[in-house]
Amino acid sequence: MLNGQWPADGRGCEHCRDQEQFGGVSDRIQWLSSTSNERYVPRELYQDPTLLKVKPTQISVHFNNKCNLKCLYCGPELSSSWMKEKLKYEQGVDYGLDPWLLDTTYKDRLAKFYAWMEQNYSSLKAFDILGGEPFIQPECFDCIDWMIAHPNPDCDVEIYSNFQVKHELFKKNMEKVKQLAGTVREVCIVASIDCYGPAAEYIRYGHDWATFEQNWLYFLQECPEVKSTMNWTITSLSVPYTAELMRKIIVWDKEIRKTSVNLNKCVDPIIYDPHIMPQGFYAKHIEEILQLADQMSSNDVYKKYVQGIFNEIDQSPAMPEKIKELKQRLTVLDGRRGTDWKVTFPWLMEIN
């Protein structure tokens, strides 16, 4: 990037790269355009912006891969449920991952993590806890207890969750999160959900909308100390069902409180990247999505950000071989999970 070149595929930069190539406002540009983000810049970079090693002001932590969902685009590295399915149905295949490695090194790595925190937490500006699913990981709440005992009023904390835990456990967890909010600059819960209805339950296998909505509404109504955000992954299957979720957000914004929404496009596995579909295939859905985006936000930069994502999707050349591969993959998963993609996504049968 210092040489004006994008990193090679597989480094995680494809989402922003593709948007910018189509003239869109990417996450990168949106983040850099906000003066409120200047607080996260390491001091050393004000003296030399080309430095590659600085004391971090932000960290993201995955304690382990324990998760109760098997999202289509995820895998065993980030989901223990995926790991169990892989071991059951794909024995003998080498995925380059030892499922029991966690047990042999975990305690040592946790000890090193807290030793690092003792020396560095007080200077952090942002601390993110991701999964797996943090709300079913005891380590997440051990860490929250540690942070409560070591206040950092200059730190923003984000905790990602799929909101798929029993309601009483969710309420118990949120009491601890609200306690954390009193010791840091702000706490934000980021809900991971991609679209609405049966499609959402298929894409994020294990997701139950009723459970999500019960926990989400409790969060909005009873936890005003904690900021609300959603993270939506745009996939080749979710676009036709995104507008309905947007309408839900608009109602909740008016009736309860405002939620910000971050969008990211799936780029790996490529069969779930929406740009594999024929050009113009999503046109009517995109038109509706952009109209609803105007209602969700008055921020012009955010609107351009949303428009850029879908312009790139709509204008990219189709990949028929990947569409065929997508159908084959869904058929395999249906055989394991008792689902039926032809019922959930009937429109996909018509695309060659």
pLDDT at 329: 97
CB 191 within 8 A of CB 220: no
Element (H, E) at 234: strand 227-234
* CATH class of the region 15-350: alpha beta
Residues sharing a CB contact under 8 Å with residue 174, sequence separation 6 or more, in sequence order: 218, 219, 222, 223, 226
- If you search the block for the tokens 């509706």, which residue do you land on? 288
pLDDT at 98: 59
pLDDT at 90: 84
Tell me the pTM: 0.91
- Give residue limits of the domains in the chain: 15-350
Successive 10-residue mean pLDDT values, the chain, 352 residues: 89 84 84 88 92 94 94 93 88 58 78 97 97 95 98 98 98 98 98 96 97 98 98 96 97 97 91 94 94 91 86 89 98 97 97 86
pLDDT at 352: 81
85: nearest Cα among 105, 65, 104, 112? 65
Per residue in 117-169, pLDDT (tens digit) is 999 999 999 999 999 999 999 999 999 999 999 999 999 999 999 999 999 99
